[in-house]
A and B are shown apart, each in its own frame.
Chain A
């Protein structure tokens, strides 16, 4: 039986090639995603391990948590005498104070703005320091600097050149050396400026304090033991951490920032595989229908049902194994492709050698084989049901089982119920995911039953176009199971694309609307880099607020805090000036009350937490630990969103709780009688010293807030096109097989006078029809669930449904055009059929 399986599989290789391709693409995507995330993780690990390689322990100011949302918290500096106190602890071999901060590089008057950090640090010679001088020498004098090689090469900085470093203070420094980091020429997406310790302290205005102290244990002293000794010697308030923990924590924080990408990629791989599964099931059931006679003969000749089942599943296993192997190979290429794609959409990933783990290989084969064999189970069971007498009569068209219809109706009803529960009864939003699964499952089960009706409905224009169109319709309606599966595969991809488009557009337009309603400032200054915490130097506010053209300048700061396990963000505002640049609506309490050290909550937060004015909210801060802040006001949800978070405190309170010195936005009201252009000119002039600060109008400010949505939307849409591509292969595949089945009919049509052109249009018409069916289902499903999600989101902040009609029409047009494309090959094949041979094929 195995030999037979192998032979039939090979004999049908052309037929199975497309199926194979579908699995290959799915596996490629899955392994590509895994390889990419493994690689990014490994590169980040390496980077952080290199950074602390020569150090055993690091002493820093103690904090409650060291990073939030992938951003390391700022710690208070350490007193100047601390290194001496550490050095005095027995077992310490070496101590090295270190200063680290942000310092923007400027070359020939142009700022070098990397997408990552602009590092300014004191030079620490190896092995304690992670950087090594590759050419020139380390900084010795206070006006000397060492730049990383990558930056030097990219911006043509040579030894002896002078660069400007803008930190809290600005310095002009001479480049005396170029540094590398481990085996690399620098840190990814960053610039590095290494200066002497006093110079770093001066530029960062740290006085004689330092950021951290690196400690090397004496030979024979266990780092863990030394750690305890130092902790005891320094007392509370300082944190002594083994270097490998710091490396792990740093890498984890950096990986945290990429975790959404991994999630998105794996979700898309799942979608691609789901689409592929439909396609595989389809192909196998067609192949089995066509092999009915052969299978019946086998049965008549004495093959048991089990043998037939194993034969079909064996075929699936072979296809699965072959596809997994190819998919794994292509996955390596895909990883690089996705990395470049992500980079193109503004999501830089670390570059470096790809990591192929055993897990990835295992997943590739498991996924490929399980999906293929799993999809073939249904068709295989139908093959077993073939009666030996079927060899002698024509196979009757299978009718949709009643059980299937009932199951489908139940699934669809469950989906509807879950949606209603979320919308009407306020059930949690993730229930919508369950609803979507129910809807898709229901459609998959009901597909064969409803397809003929849908085909005739969607195919109206086609039918009106003439008999070829009618024939195309009928052909699609005749094999509802096949048409449904083919269309549904495409519909899934299109549904996801439409869902993302509608949701993204709705959230964007809602953010825009809130912002426009609430922020009344004439101008906004924000960092061009859209850093998580704003990243605007306080200097900007100082300069701008002093301008005679500016009547009011009010700044916003963001901070992270811990709420149990969850990380939250808050906005710090100036209660005195904010009302003049923003129109806020309080439902309880008021803004001025913030001065007492309290907190204002967005309405929905108060509702969810059951808090009212006068209650207290416990919050954990990195520097200040856990505090309970009195609730002094409740703000409308939309207004809170315009200020970016659901929690407001005053800048004074912020200064007591945080050591971060970064502004997020400076909102500006121009002085009475100052023209817009004049004000802009004055503000721009004031920003000359801070190149990353950007004067924005409302549109640009909104764009800065929604940039992430655009990135994700763009990346996901491009990647989803892969799922759509797989689905299109499905159309080609199904049509090619259906043509084989309809050879006699095609021969007849040609004999009685259907021209080749008419025949080609008939086949293409069928392809477009399936695409149209998929588009209608997919777009309706996508828009429907987006609408439900928007409604559900509206509970937390007013979100209005915005349907990007142009974009959806584009999706429709692309799908139809692609359908046409998918039909080209089968149409050509059909037109090439020899009329006589076709007539002779009953």
Chain B
């Protein structure tokens, strides 16, 4: 497994947030989950977003991915200002330009692995590129599992199916929210290896939310978040570097259990 070699310097920005504010609740109970976040995700790179629990990682990811709207600031995905899109346009954008891997419940239980993988294409009324699909299945070691339903797959296999689904549309960017959160360390390593491979071999842009330094070490770059604000960045991260940065964060650090 290739760990971290610095590839060609990123020239284009896949997605960026400018002064993004997202508040939950009102009045006294209001929580500023994002409090003026400005961040750029370079294309063709593997970016990790780290921070303690409750620091706003998921909120930021949802905003970047067009799953949620923001109260102030701007999200630019490629050249698209997400704030100007209607709900339907955002849905289509997610379908056609973005891939997702969630921590849990990634798959539709009634569909087979293959059907789950091609779901975004089917929703768009498009046919999958057979060669691309075969390649994905082979790379992720799912070829002989394609006819199984999620219930018949292990947790690691399920997450790999989710990765295949995220990649099948050749999206501009893939968002993964704690994709290894429910996996044992063996399965987690395998999955992270695949994500790394997708960046290296396909030039895929990936943004991964995690609070696990081991997972974050697979990324090219780590963005730290604390209390809804960007709190430093780290290029070519290693586990010790991440841990020492985390220790410096103001919020009480929560390290991964793995």
Q: Which of A744-797 contact B (CB under 8 A)?
A: 744-745, 748-758
Mask, B61-96, CB within 8 Å of A = 1, is 010000110000000000000000001100110111
Tell me whether A836 and B68 are in contact in the complex, defined as CB-CB below 8 angstroms, given that A466-B122, A467-B122 are known contacts: yes
Asked if B108 CB lies within 8 Å of chain A CBs, one says yes
Tell me whether A835 is interfacial, beta carbon within 8 Å. yes
Contact B123–A754 (Cβ < 8 Å): yes
Note all chain B residues with C-beta closer than 8 A to A470.
Answer: 111, 115
Query: Does A842 sit within 8 A of B, measured CB to CB?
Result: yes
Selecting from B40-48, B98-106, B200-208, the interface stretch reads: B98-106
- Assess whether B215 is interfacial by the CB under 8 Å rule: no
Contact present for B100 and A471 (CB under 8 Å): no
The reply on B119 being an interface residue by CB < 8 A is yes
A464 to chain B, nearest CB (A): 13
Are A474 and B123 in contact, CB atoms less than 8 angstroms apart? no
For window 802-842 of A, CB contacts with B under 8 Å fall at 835-836, 839, 842
> A752 contacts B94, CB within 8 Å?
yes
By the criterion CB–CB under 8 Å, are A745 and B109 in contact?
Answer: yes
Scan B111-126; emit 1 where CB is below 8 A from any A CB, else 0: 1000100011011110
The interface residues of chain B lying within 8 Å CB-to-CB of A750 are: 91
How far is it, in angstroms, between the C-alpha of A468 and the C-alpha of B106 when the chains are bound?
17
B111 touches A753 (CB 8 A): no
Residues of B within 8 A of A467 (CB): 115, 119, 122-123
Tell me the nearest residue of chain B to A745, going by C-beta. Answer: B108
In the complex, are the beta carbons of B94 and A753 less than 8 A apart?
Answer: yes
Alpha-carbon separation in the docked complex, A420 to B102 (Å): 59
The residues of B that contact A835 with a CB separation of less than 8 Å are: 67-68
Report the nearest B residue to A477, measured CB to CB. Answer: B110
Contact of A471 among B95, B96, B110 (CB under 8 A): B110
Asked if B165 lies at the interface with its beta carbon under 8 angstroms from chain A, I say yes
| Residue in contact with B91 in the complex, picked from A475, A478, A754, CB distance below 8 Å | A754
Number of interface residues of B (CB under 8 A): 28
CB of A753 within 8 A of CB of B67, answer no
In the bound complex, CA of A138 to CA of B119 (Å): 90
- Chain A 462-485 interface 0/1 with B at a Cβ cutoff of 8 Å (1 = within): 000011101100110110000000
Contact A752 B125 (CB under 8 A): no
A-facing mask of B149-192, CB < 8 A → 1, else 0?
00000000000000001000000000000000000000000000
Bound: A467/B106 CA distance, A: 17
**Are B100 and A752 in contact, CB atoms less than 8 angstroms apart?**
yes
User: Which B residues are CB-close (under 8 A) to A468?
Assistant: 123
Q: Size of chain A's interface in residues, with CB distance under 8 A?
A: 26
CB–CB A745/B105 < 8 A: yes
Closest A-chain residue to B151, C-beta based? Answer: A397
Partner of A755, one of B88, B100, B110, B122: B88
* A755 touching B91, Cβ below 8 Å: yes
- State A751–B94 Cα separation when bound (angstroms): 7
Contact of A749 among B102, B108, B125 (CB under 8 A): B108
B91 lies within 8 A of A474 (CB) = no
Among candidates B88, B111, B124, residue contacting A756 with C-beta atoms closer than 8 Å: B88
Which residue of B is nearest A834, CB measured? B68
Minimal Cβ-Cβ distance residue in B for A473: B110
**A757: which B residues are within 8 A, CB to CB?**
88
Contact across chains for A753 and B125 when beta carbons are under 8 A apart:
no
Cβ-neighbour of B96 out of A477, A745, A753, A839 (below 8 A): A753
CA distance A477 to B108 in the complex (A): 14
Taken together as a complex, chains A and B put the C-alpha atoms of A477 and B110 apart, in Å, by 9
B123 to A842, Cβ gap below 8 A? no
Q: Which of B68, B110, B120 has the most CB of A within 10 A?
A: B110
Q: Which residues of B contact A839 (CB under 8 A)?
A: 67, 102, 105
Minimal Cβ-Cβ distance residue in B for A474: B110
The residue of chain A having its C-beta at the shortest distance from the C-beta of B103 within the complex is A842
Q: How far is the CB of A772 from chain B (nearest CB, A)?
A: 19
Contact of A753 among B62, B68, B95, B104 (CB under 8 A): B95
Given A466-B125, A758-B123, A753 and B91 contact (CB-CB distance below 8 Å) = yes
Which residues from A are CB-within-8-Å of B124? 753
Residues of B within 8 A of A753 (CB): 91-92, 94-96, 120, 123-124
| Residue numbers in B under 8 Å from A842 (CB-CB) | 104-105
Q: Please state if A752 and B87 are interface contacts (CB–CB under 8 Å).
A: no
Check B92 against A755 for contact (C-beta < 8 Å). Answer: yes
Alpha-carbon distance A477/B149, docked complex (angstroms): 15
Q: Which one of A475, A748, A756 lies within 8 Å of B102 (CB-CB)?
A: A748
User: Separation in Å of the A604 CB from the closest CB of chain B?
Assistant: 57
Give the distance in Å from the alpha carbon of A745 to the alpha carbon of B123 in the complex.
Answer: 15
Residues of B within 8 A of A466 (CB): 122, 125
A474/B111 contact (C-beta < 8 A), A758-B123, A836-B68 known: yes
Determine the chain B residues whose CB is within 8 A of the CB of A756 once the complex forms: 87-88, 91
CA distance A459 to B250 in the complex (A): 58
Given contacts A756-B87, A836-B68, contact A748 B106 (CB under 8 A): yes
Q: Measured between alpha carbons, how far is A478 from B111 in the docked complex, in Å?
A: 11
Contacts of B62 in A (CB 8 A): 836
Distance of A748 from chain B, by nearest CB (Å): 6
Q: Give chain B residues whose Cβ lies under 8 Å from the Cβ of A748.
A: 102, 105-108
Q: How far is the CA of A475 from the CA of B111 in the complex (A)?
A: 10
A758's closest neighbor in chain B, by CB? B123
Contact B95 A836 (CB under 8 A): no
Docked pose: A475 CA to B108 CA in angstroms: 10
Q: Which residues of B contact A745 (CB under 8 A)?
A: 105, 108-109
The residue in chain A whose Cβ has the minimal distance to the Cβ of B149 is: A474
Residues A55-88 near B (CB distance < 8 A)? none
B residues bordering A, Cβ < 8 Å?
62, 67-68, 87-88, 91-92, 94-96, 100, 102, 104-111, 115, 119-120, 122-125, 165
- Supply 27 A–B pairs (Cβ within 8 Å), ascending by A: A466-B122, A467-B123, A470-B111, A471-B110, A475-B110, A478-B109, A745-B109, A748-B106, A748-B107, A749-B119, A751-B94, A751-B100, A752-B95, A752-B120, A752-B165, A753-B95, A754-B95, A754-B123, A755-B88, A755-B123, A756-B87, A835-B68, A836-B68, A839-B67, A839-B102, A842-B104, A842-B105
Additional A-B contact list (4), CB under 8 Å, known A745-B105, A752-B120 = A751-B100, A753-B94, A835-B68, A839-B102
What are the nearest 4 A-B pairs in CB distance?
Answer: A753-B95, A474-B110, A467-B122, A744-B105
B-binding residues in A (CB < 8 A): 466-468, 470-471, 474-475, 477-478, 744-745, 748-758, 835-836, 839, 842
